[in-house]
Structure 1
């Protein structure tokens, strides 16, 4: 209970509270409409699951187009304005998406989804950089725990909320909810009083100073910073592998239910699975910071991955819905151990002036493998491989990364600590 109170104490910082709420509402805008649209496509094109996969690709693929610019924007421009305008523009594009859906012309719909997703990618690096600046190093793990808890809430409610809105008011209602969420997030960002050294830690940078060469220089500086930082390089390398798993898990739970376990009632069961998984994510998010404080952080990262790997493999053997739900519950409990450990570790080891550029590399590295995985699934399923084989592949990947981290992270963590002591001396 005392650890939970320490975690919630970060909300005494009013600026962080507003940023946190803005991130939550922005995420609602990004997820609910996409979830509803996937069910809409599965209803209208039930024999063509490729459309549902393409929807997820329109959410992830834009990162590969804009990641060169997102880090530059977060580290050189006013971070508060970057986050504000990203939300504002996404709200406007939600209106365009609504009109596109009314035309029922799929190329225009997917193009609008792609554009909105591209703009939304500017929000996270700016938001993460602001959070790093307004919190102390001791509060980073607490903030990471809260972020993971919110991820659990979204797992709990996103599918149900998206499906519920779709059932009640159709796909149009879901897209309208998206737009309202983005506009609310923009208003929360605009209401924050953020010190200038947090908004622009590298000094003032004016629009007239933006040119291609400056963007390339900053982009290269971020890459050099990562490659010269062994611990950071190892952690970010893992995000490429995590992207494969994330890409698969955006679609395979629904596919498992629709095509294997509950073909006639997959929509209802998907809500139940989401509730169970999300509830366990919330519980895991409460327990994980307590565990991380008692053991070394790199042990938390490795153990979480290895446990999750075995559970995902077990999911592939599911023949009954009850067993599958049990495995998803255990997965929800285990994942926060790794996610919170990494989420609290990164801000502590990254220079505040470089956070935007580092964050801008993490997302595309993950999204590259995520998009590639979705592309492979859209082509290969169900002709070339089964749902079970995808679970087996994801589980083995998590096991391999967990074992590699068990070997590498203790040495790299010690090396990083020693380098800090040398710098202080």
Structure 2
């Protein structure tokens, strides 16, 4: 707790943290409320809700090659600020589109707004790296993990409450207000030029196709040549596999094995149990990263989480399944916080945006492949127990790899920069 208090004494961090918090809160509330609105208004067309979800994920594939380049070449503070301000106007357009009731326009606005939001995280993460001391990275990662856990636990509930009390229009307005507050907090900060523009001043005219692909290629080359970073990136690919599996297999085991007639009610309970596990695990992780080496925690977290995921597939009762799920969720933040605290200390600040820009598409690709695999294989080739074993093994396999390579790489990694490409 003392480390958290000391962290918030850094006013730049405090403003940036709360900007990210309000931005996330608005997005979660707005998305949840809009999903329930679609299910209520178009109850006979559930495909609309799925289409809305796709509008939040598809932009990643459209712009992933430029997101990191923008965060590294442009003023990072302005990028984050304009993400929020443009989102305000697009949220107003969403309000109008919903009022008109023309769904193609609604989905088009959702797609554009989601695309704009993709530029926020790399810019914000790169700024965060520049304003914190190396010893504070792990504490900040733990704090961010706690916030994510809170939204995981209460985000959907807040969205439902907002929808019930204010309707979809009120939820959209809350969305816009959250972006407005975030923009003010980012604008109020005074960052040094080397934090905002570590690669020097550039204009939008400089971002021609040649430069974008050159920088995108250099980001990929940096990851591939940086052995320790490359190994850590594998962890994010695994998270995509885990996210894809976790999004459906708990419901599957309830519907097809443990509670066929009451799986909807128990699915809510599982969400609460899982969220509580992640939240408590976030607090524990923030303490552990101050005392133990990152790579040891990552390996242990992967083994515990993967092992208990595999075991939970063989549960024969709801209490047993909930207990195993809680333990697996408890270990996940250990991995997240360790990687999140470690990565800023080994990545060259000039390339942080490009490194961050690679994470989303890698995670989404592995998540999409996992979901497609489950959709094809479940009940045709694989049982529910086999699915849990696959997801669990997907988490444990990198642990084995890390046990072999990380100790050696950690000893050889003494500087933040390794074979950085020319700027």
Same fold by TM-score greater than 0.5: yes
Q: CA deviation at 1:150?
A: 0.9
Partner of 2:84: 87
How far apart are the structure 2 equivalents of 1:213 and 1:180? 38
Q: CA deviation at 1:89?
A: 1.6
Partner of 2:115: 118
How far apart are the structure 2 equivalents of 1:106 and 1:130? 37
Q: CA deviation at 1:153?
A: 0.8
CA contact (8 A) 1:57 1:371 kept: no
Partner of 1:330: 327
Partner of 1:100: 97
Q: CA deviation at 1:101?
A: 3.8
Deviates more, 1:61-70 or 1:144-153: 61-70
**TM-score of the superposed pair, with normalisation by structure 1:** 0.88
Shift in alpha-carbon separation, 1:215–1:289, aligned structure 2, 3 A = same
Partner of 1:298: 295
Q: Could you list the per-position Cα deviations for residues 365-393 of structure 1 after superposition, in whole angstroms to 9, with x for gaps in the alignment?
A: 11222234445566777888776654333
For residue 358 of structure 1, the aligned residue among 349, 355, 362 is: 355
For residue 407 of structure 2, the aligned residue among 403, 406, 410 is: 410
Is 1:63 paired with 2:60? yes
Partner of 2:143: 146
Q: Could you list the per-position Cα deviations for residues 105-159 of structure 1 after superposition, in whole angstroms to 9, with x for gaps in the alignment?
A: 5444333322221111000000000000000001001101101111111111112
Partner of 2:19: 22
How far apart are the structure 2 equivalents of 1:386 and 1:179? 45
CA contact (8 A) 2:346 2:416 kept: no
Shift in alpha-carbon separation, 1:91–1:387, aligned structure 2, 3 A = farther
Partner of 1:209: 206
How far apart are the structure 2 equivalents of 1:34 and 1:202? 35
Does the residue aligned with 2:199 lie in a helix, a strand or coil? coil
For residue 11 of structure 1, the aligned residue among 8, 12, 23 is: 8
For residue 394 of structure 1, the aligned residue among 375, 388, 391 is: 391
Deviates more, 1:100-109 or 1:179-188: 100-109
Partner of 2:158: 161
Does the residue aligned with 2:413 lie in a helix, a strand or coil? helix
Shift in alpha-carbon separation, 1:366–1:29, aligned structure 2, 3 A = same
Alignment of 1:245-260 (within 5 A): 245-253=242-250
**TM-score of the superposed pair, with normalisation by structure 2:** 0.88
Partner of 2:74: 77
How far apart are the structure 1 equivalents of 2:235 and 2:392? 14
Partner of 1:287: 284
For residue 132 of structure 2, the aligned residue among 130, 135, 146 is: 135
Q: CA deviation at 1:410?
A: 1.3
CA contact (8 A) 2:98 2:106 kept: yes
Partner of 1:244: 241
Partner of 2:346: 349
Shift in alpha-carbon separation, 1:254–1:59, aligned structure 2, 3 A = farther
Deviates more, 1:60-69 or 1:378-387: 378-387
Is 1:194 paired with 2:191? yes
Q: CA deviation at 1:351?
A: 0.7
Shift in alpha-carbon separation, 1:176–1:385, aligned structure 2, 3 A = farther
CA contact (8 A) 1:74 1:357 kept: yes
How far apart are the structure 2 equivalents of 1:173 and 1:418? 50
Deviates more, 1:44-53 or 1:277-286: 44-53
Q: CA deviation at 1:54?
A: 4.2
For residue 229 of structure 2, the aligned residue among 215, 232, 235 is: 232
CA contact (8 A) 1:84 1:189 kept: yes
Partner of 2:421: none
How far apart are the structure 2 equivalents of 1:329 and 1:366? 23
CA contact (8 A) 1:53 1:378 kept: no
Deviates more, 1:337-346 or 1:387-396: 387-396
Q: CA deviation at 1:98?
A: 3.5
Alignment: residue pair count: 419
Deviates more, 1:385-394 or 1:200-209: 385-394
Shift in alpha-carbon separation, 1:252–1:419, aligned structure 2, 3 A = closer
Q: CA deviation at 1:344?
A: 0.6
Shift in alpha-carbon separation, 1:279–1:250, aligned structure 2, 3 A = same
How far apart are the structure 1 equivalents of 2:25 and 2:417? 39
